[in-house]
Structure 1
C-alpha cells in the first residue's frame, strides 16, 4: 500500500473521544488490512466480496437486461451449441458473434480462451459506464472485447466481467468534422465516426465502397476498429496513408472513474495521445472513434506469385536480387503487404499497390521478372501476376464474387450482411492456436548498398528454419513526410518511423478451444523452436529491433522497450492519471508490471 492510500485509510477510521491508543491502532490496522485486500486482490466467483445475485440483477436492470451469463459452446459436447459451433468454426463472423469465444483460441503454455463469467452486451455508452462502475465498486477483473482478435489473450479472462461492444457498430460519414473543443483551432476535414464494436469491413463498406473515399484501417477485414487503433494499426496501404492511429481525430472513452470523456488534440490531449498506439484495454473502454478520410486513388492492385530456386546458392542470389529490386523500385508509398521467404527456397509474393495503373506496375516489375526468366535455376511455381482494379471495389464483396470469387470468403449464415467477407488468405487465422509468434521492425539502413549483403545473409539463414514474412506496410520508412510526422505524434515505438518492414515469424495449429481436443504438444514445441531460431538469425542484422504490440511474443521480457521504446514513461504517466488503481489490465499492457500474470493480484 502506498502512502497516499494509507493516509486515505487512516482518514476513514472514525476517531472517537475515549478511544485508547491501542484501540485506534487496532482500528487503523483493520482498515488498512481491508483496504490492502481491496487494492491487491480482485474477487472471483465464490470468494468473499463477489457480487450477490441481487447485485447482478441491479446491473442487469441498468443495462436494459443485456447482462449475459456466459458458457463456451464447446463446454458440452452433447449440446446443440457444440455442433453449431463446430459447423461455423472457420467463420470469423460467427466467432465474433459469440461473447464466449475469441478469434484466437489460445497460445501454448501461455493462455487459453476461457469465457468471462458475465458479459454486458453493450449497446450504448451508458451501458459501458454501468459496467465500469460495477467492476470498480465490486473489485472485479474487467475485460473489453470488440473484434476479439488479440493474439495475447487480452480480450478474455476467466472469472471476469466482460464489456462486449459487438453491437455498437454504427458508422457515420462527415463532410467536415472538427473535434470537440477544437473549434477555431482546427479546420474541418472529411472524417468517419465508427463505434467500437465495428469491424474494418463495416468501415470500408461505408467509406470506400459506398462513400468513394479511403480510411486507414486494418488489412484483415474482421479485425475490430477500436482494438487496431489503440494498438497503432497497419493496413495494406499504410505506407501511403500512415498508421491507423495517426489518423485518429477524436475518441470517446469511458475511463476507470466511470466518466465518458472526449479525447482529442484539444480536450484531454494526453489521454488522446495514449490512445494512439498505447495498447488496447489499458486506459479505458473506447466507445467511438473519429478518423480522417482521404481522397481515394483511382487504382488499387496486387502482385501475387511464387518463384522457386533449384539450389540453395540460387536462392541466396534470388534473395539478393529481390532486396536490391525492393530498394530501387518498391521502397516508396505505392507498395505494401508481403514478400515471404521459405525453407523450400520459394520466394512468395503477396504485395499490393496504390496509385498506379496495371500497366505502370507491370513496367516496374518487368526487369526483375526478365532477370528470373533468363536463368534456368528458377521456375515459377505460381505465375507472377500483376493486376489492378478500381479502388472503390477493393473491399466490394459483390465485385470480387463476380470477377475474382476465389479471393474472398463470405459469412455463409442466412441473413448475413452482403459486405461481410474476408480475404481467403486470412481464414487460416480463424480460431487458430498459437505456438509461437515474433516480430521485429527492420531499419531502413539495412537497405543501403553496403548493408544489403548482411540483410540477405540474415534472410537466408532465417528462412532455413521457418517461413519468414516481410510486411512492408508495417514500417513507415519510405512513406510521405506528413504520414511520418503524424506517426511521430503517437505512443508507438519510434522505431516504426525508421523501419522499412516488420519481419514476422509464427507457428500455429488448428483451433483448440476448451472442450475441444488440445494442441499437439510436440508440434507446438517444434514450431516454437524453429520460430526462435529463425528470429535469432534475423536479429543478427537488427539486434535492437522493437516489436509491434499486436503481433509479438507473449513471453517477451523487455516488452516496455520493445513495444513503446522511449515513449513508455510518458505512457505510464497517462495510465497513472486516468487509471491510478489499475482497473484496466491486459497482458503486457501499460502498467501491467504491477500485477500478477492473470491480473488478479497486485504485486507488493
Structure 2
C-alpha cells in the first residue's frame, strides 16, 4: 500500500495526542493509514468494495430493482460481431434507445474531457424508498454515487465508472392540480394551478399531460427527451422562456432525498434555503430530487414558428445583413412574444429558427414584412430557404398525433419495434443524440449591446466570430425583454444574475458522431476534433470582446471553464456553498463543476 507523504503528514496532524501507554507506533500508523484511506471512495478492486451478499441485501431493500449493468458495446470486442456493433452505434442516434439503457448517456463524450462509462450497478428506482435505500448504501459503503434521469448532461455528470447509479427513469408519474399550496404555506400562499412530476419524467411526457390533455402550459425544455428534474435544477430555459420566464422560477415544491437518507420537502416555507438552491444550483449536488411541483400557466390561442435562410454574396454585404438582423431583433422581436434562435455561418448565411407566443400568422408576418422587403430589394442577397411563417393551435404544439399528421418533416420517431407511438422528438435535436463534443462555449450577451451606440460593436463581433465557426444567438435564453414579473421571479433563483439583463445566450459548439476510444471503426477523429475545438474557441473569444467576463449557462457551457463558480452562479455561489455544506457536509453528492466540487479530484473519488 503506497502512502502519499503529504496526505500522511496532514492526516497524522489530525490524530489525538499519543496515549502514555498501550499503543505502539504500528497502532498509530494503522490508524493514520485508515484516516488516509477514508479520503478515497471505494472502487470494485478495493478490499472494502461491498460483497455480493451486501449487494443482494440492497437488491432486497429496493424490491429487486437493482441492475448489474452490462455495456451494449460487448459485441464490439470481436471482429465477427462487427454488424451487431454497427447496429448499436446506429441506435445511438435514437435518444429513446439511449435513455432506456442505464449504461448510456445522451452524449458519448467530450474531447480531452470525459467518455461515457457505465456504473457497476444501478438502482432502477421506482419509488422514493428505493432512492433512500440507494443513498444509504452508497454512504455506508463509501461509494461514488451518480444520479441520472434524462441523462442529457453535456458535462458528463450523469455517468461515472466504478459507481452506483440511481436511475430515476422509471419514476415518471404526473399529477395535475387545479389549486396547489405548498406544504406548510397555507397562510402565506394563494392556491395555484400546478403539476407534480416525478423526477424521471421527460419533458414530452409533461407537455402531453399538461398541454395536450390539460390545455395549460408548464415551462420546460425545448428538447423533448430532456429530463424534467435535471432541467429545473440547472435553471431551465425552453422555447417560450421570454414569455413564461425560467423553468426553475416555476418550482413550488420539491421532494428530495438528502445525504443522510432522509426525505425532505423543500418549498418557500420549509427548508427554504434548500428550495432556493434547487432552483438553478445544479442537479446532483444537494441530493436526489424525487418529485417536483411546478406552476402551470394559461395557454395562448396560438404558437408559431419562422424558418428561413439568407445568403450574402460578399463579406461586405454579409456585414450589412448582420446589421439588419440586429435591427430587426431590436425593433420587432425583442419582446415576450419571440424566442429560439438565429444561426450565423461562415459561408455568409444567416438561418432563422424562431418561435412565437400568442401571435396570429398575420401579426407574425407584419413583424417580418419590412425586413423581408429589404432583403428582396437587394441583389446581394438570396433566400436559400424561403421565409416560412406558420401558426398552430398552442394546445397542439406537442400533440403527437397532430404532429405526425401535419408536421411530419419536423419530427423524428423512435423506430424500435416495441417503442410506444408517443416516442417522438424534434428533428433538429437528432444531431445531439450520442454526440461526441469537440468544444462547447456559451455566454450571456447583455441587452446594452442592442442600444444604437453599441450595435456596430455587436455586428463587428458577430462577423468576426463567424469567420472561425458557426454560432447561434438563443433569444429565449436571456430574460431581458421578458415581463417584469418573470424577471423578478428569476431573481429569486440561484442562477447567475447576468441572465436577468441578457438579451440572448450565444452558443458556439461543435460535435461529431457517437464515438468511443478503443472501439475499432468508431473512435473519435481526434485530429479533426482538435481543429474544430480551436476554431470554436476563437469564435467564442471574438464574441467575448464585446461581453468581457460574461457568465455562461450551467447546462450549456464549457467543460474546461476556469472560473466556473462565478460563470455559472455569479454572486450566488457563496450562499450555494453554505447550503451544500449544511445538507451534504461529507460531499456524498459530486458532479463536475458542481457546488462544492472544488474539494474533490476531477473524478470525484478523492477528497483533496
- With the shorter chain as reference, the TM-score category is over 0.9
Listed one character per residue, the Cα deviations across residues 316-357 of structure 1 (whole Å, up to 9, x for unaligned) are 000001101111110000000000100000010000000100
The reply on whether 1:279 has 2:282 as its aligned counterpart is yes
Matches within 5 A, 1:398-409: 398-409=401-412
- After superposition, the Cα gap between the structure-2 partners of 1:462 and 1:146, relative to the gap in structure 1 and judged at 3 Å, is same
Aligned residues: 594
Residues 74 and 81, structure 1, Cα contact 8 Å, conserved in 2: no
Q: In 1, distance between residues paired with 2:112 and 2:61?
A: 39
The reply on whether 1:94 has 2:97 as its aligned counterpart is yes
4+ runs of 1 displaced by more than 6 Å?
Answer: 5-9
Show structure 2 runs of 5+ residues with no match: 1-6
Correspondence for 2:568? 563
Q: In 2, distance between residues paired with 1:160 and 1:550?
A: 22
Q: TM-score, normalised by structure 1?
A: 0.95
Correspondence for 1:75? 74
Residues 89 and 514, structure 2, Cα contact 8 Å, conserved in 1: no
Q: In 2, distance between residues paired with 1:577 and 1:24?
A: 38
Q: 2:539 aligns with which of 531, 534, 541?
A: 534
73-82 vs 219-228, which moves further: 73-82
Structure 1 SS opposite 2:558 = coil
Correspondence for 1:50? 49
Superposed CA RMSD in Å reads: 1.9
Q: In 1, distance between residues paired with 2:421 and 2:482?
A: 34
Q: In 1, distance between residues paired with 2:203 and 2:482?
A: 22
Residues 107 and 433, structure 1, Cα contact 8 Å, conserved in 2: yes
Listed one character per residue, the Cα deviations across residues 385-409 of structure 1 (whole Å, up to 9, x for unaligned) are 1110000000112111111110001
Q: In 1, distance between residues paired with 2:526 and 2:587?
A: 35
Q: TM-score, normalised by structure 2?
A: 0.95
Listed one character per residue, the Cα deviations across residues 389-436 of structure 1 (whole Å, up to 9, x for unaligned) are 000000112111111110001122234333321110100000000010
* 1:371 Cα deviation from its structure 2 partner: 0.6
Q: In 2, distance between residues paired with 1:455 and 1:383?
A: 26
The reply on whether 1:145 has 2:148 as its aligned counterpart is yes
The reply on whether 1:509 has 2:512 as its aligned counterpart is yes
Structure 2 SS opposite 1:525 = helix
Residues 516 and 524, structure 2, Cα contact 8 Å, conserved in 1: no
Correspondence for 1:574? 579
Q: In 2, distance between residues paired with 1:512 and 1:51?
A: 32
- After superposition, the Cα gap between the structure-2 partners of 1:270 and 1:25, relative to the gap in structure 1 and judged at 3 Å, is farther
- After superposition, the Cα gap between the structure-2 partners of 1:567 and 1:151, relative to the gap in structure 1 and judged at 3 Å, is same
* 1:51 Cα deviation from its structure 2 partner: 0.5
Residues 173 and 198, structure 2, Cα contact 8 Å, conserved in 1: yes
Q: In 2, distance between residues paired with 1:246 and 1:579?
A: 24
Listed one character per residue, the Cα deviations across residues 548-567 of structure 1 (whole Å, up to 9, x for unaligned) are 01111111110001000000
Structure 2 SS opposite 1:473 = coil
Residues 73 and 81, structure 1, Cα contact 8 Å, conserved in 2: no
Residues 69 and 122, structure 2, Cα contact 8 Å, conserved in 1: yes
Residues 396 and 419, structure 1, Cα contact 8 Å, conserved in 2: no
Structure 1 SS opposite 2:533 = helix
Correspondence for 1:228? 231
Residues 475 and 502, structure 1, Cα contact 8 Å, conserved in 2: yes
Correspondence for 1:163? 166
- After superposition, the Cα gap between the structure-2 partners of 1:333 and 1:122, relative to the gap in structure 1 and judged at 3 Å, is same
Q: In 2, distance between residues paired with 1:585 and 1:325?
A: 44
* 1:513 Cα deviation from its structure 2 partner: 3.6
Listed one character per residue, the Cα deviations across residues 112-169 of structure 1 (whole Å, up to 9, x for unaligned) are 0010011110000000000000000000000000000011100000000000001001
The reply on whether 1:307 has 2:315 as its aligned counterpart is no
Residues 398 and 418, structure 1, Cα contact 8 Å, conserved in 2: no
Correspondence for 1:445? 448
* 1:201 Cα deviation from its structure 2 partner: 0.3
Q: In 1, distance between residues paired with 2:475 and 2:15?
A: 53
Q: 1:363 aligns with which of 363, 366, 381?
A: 366
Correspondence for 1:35? 35
Residues 157 and 592, structure 2, Cα contact 8 Å, conserved in 1: yes
Q: 1:124 aligns with which of 127, 132, 147?
A: 127
Q: In 1, distance between residues paired with 2:84 and 2:46?
A: 30
- After superposition, the Cα gap between the structure-2 partners of 1:184 and 1:24, relative to the gap in structure 1 and judged at 3 Å, is farther
Q: 1:379 aligns with which of 378, 382, 391?
A: 382
Q: In 2, distance between residues paired with 1:325 and 1:29?
A: 72
Q: In 2, distance between residues paired with 1:7 and 1:119?
A: 38
Structure 1 SS opposite 2:476 = helix
- After superposition, the Cα gap between the structure-2 partners of 1:378 and 1:56, relative to the gap in structure 1 and judged at 3 Å, is same
* 1:171 Cα deviation from its structure 2 partner: 0.9
Correspondence for 2:342? 339
The reply on whether 1:552 has 2:551 as its aligned counterpart is no
Show structure 1 runs of 5+ residues with no match: none
